[in-house]
Amino acid sequence: MASTRAASIQPKTAAFSPNGKAFSSPKRKDLLTVEHLPLETVLHLLDRSDHYVKFLEAPGPFQKLKILEGRTIANLFFEASTRTRTSFELAERRLGADVISLTPAVSSLAKGESILDTIRVLEAMKIDAFVIRHNVSGVPGFLASRLPHNLHVVNAGDGVHEHPTQALLDAAEMRAALGSLSGKHVAIVGDILHSRVARSNAWLLAKLGAKVTFVGPDTLMPRNVAAVFGVDTTNNLDSILDTADAVMMLRIQMERQARGFFPSIEEYREEYGMTPERMSRSTALILHPGPINHGVEIETEAAYGERSLVLRQVRRGVAVRMAVMEWLFSNEV
Ligand code: CP
């Protein structure tokens, strides 16, 4: 990808639209990465998500808020999604925004229109923000670099790069369950190499003072993990079970693998699966970003057992995305 912005929040003073018209908005905010998200902003978003969890759990009919009244958000998912797409849509609607969700397979993208032209067409219809998922790393950042500065971009997962709102919702649920993440040990297990969730979580958990261990076979581990992420690695899941406060199981991302990275599913399950037997040797909370491959990286009893945060992660997804969309248009840090 030709260009990505180094920082997720980058104040601007001027830019030019495709027709050459100058724009200026020093307060534009995007959410492209957590790697470059200031701790102050992280804490603000986590706190606001706590507020919105309470709001969403309040009894009685749901009251639509007016925080984004008059704003129009476009959700552009160029890659499959259930949780992220629906929770962004719910979050935007619950804040009072008008929402459109483009399905690439039945849009003019299928006739060969470029993503940039698609964005320009929507921009001409006065869209205020784009939420973008793409299977190529860097696409949200690239599009953000080409958009006028009165528009906002949120990365809803790009290739093997980052999934910022997933990491925020994971951290928010772990913080709610453990009280604080400072000094806590979080193990992230499985296909680290192809996981944007692992990358965003490593950056974010380090900011919040947690110790992170990546667990998986060497073939599914990125290079230079200690230098790049500042986290430990091990091939031995059993060696961290008694010290981990939380264990995040990852799906093997077959769609990103051009060749086999392990001998068989059975062997993978034996070495890296969260089985009932492993559950019995640990007191850790269990997380999974979804979608789950039952009987591979995690057994159903572990995925939906009493120490599991899996469905709480889904619920928190709406609250975190409400916090993010509110923040985009606010003067908050
Ligand atoms: N966790 C996650 O990104 O799930 P979806 O692919 O269903 O959005």
In terms of domains, do 100 and 218 share one? no
Structure tokens at 249: 């199981």
The alpha carbons of the chain give a radius of gyration, in whole angstroms, of: 20
The CATH number linked to 158 is 3.40.50.1370
In a domain, 31, yes or no: yes
In terms of domains, do 80 and 65 share one? yes
In terms of domains, do 228 and 202 share one? yes
Whole-number Å distance, alpha carbon 166 to ligand 1 midpoint, is 8
Find out whether the beta carbon of 84 lies less than 6 Å from any atom of ligand 1: yes
Average pLDDT value for residue range 29-38: 96
Q: Which residue has the tokens 């929770």?
A: 87
In terms of domains, do 235 and 323 share one? no
For residue 194, what pLDDT is reported? 92
In terms of domains, do 156 and 237 share one? no
Number of the ligand 1 atom closest to the C-alpha atom of 290: 1
In a domain, 260, yes or no: yes
In terms of domains, do 135 and 239 share one? no
pLDDT band at 150 (very low <50, low <70, confident <90, very high): confident
Number of the ligand 1 atom closest to the C-alpha atom of 87: 8
pLDDT band at 20 (very low <50, low <70, confident <90, very high): very low
In a domain, 333, yes or no: no
**Helix or strand run (H / E) with residue 134:** strand 129-134
Q: State how far the Cα of 198 lies from the Cα of 26, in Å rounded to an integer.
A: 32
Find out whether the beta carbon of 135 lies less than 6 Å from any atom of ligand 1: no
In terms of domains, do 237 and 133 share one? no
DSSP letter string, 1-32: -----S-SS---S-EE-TT--EE--TT---B-
> Are β-strands 15-16 and 22-23 bridged in parallel, bridged antiparallel, or unpaired?
antiparallel
In terms of domains, do 261 and 230 share one? yes
In terms of domains, do 156 and 36 share one? yes
Give the closest residue (by CA) to ligand 1 atom 3. Answer: 84
In terms of domains, do 155 and 191 share one? no
**What's the whole-model pTM score?**
0.90
In terms of domains, do 214 and 143 share one? no
Q: Total domain count for the chain?
A: 2
Domain span holding position 52: 2-162+316-328
For residue 259, what pLDDT is reported? 63
For residue 6, what pLDDT is reported? 33
Find out whether the beta carbon of 234 lies less than 6 Å from any atom of ligand 1: no
In terms of domains, do 151 and 168 share one? no
Report helix, strand or coil for 80. coil
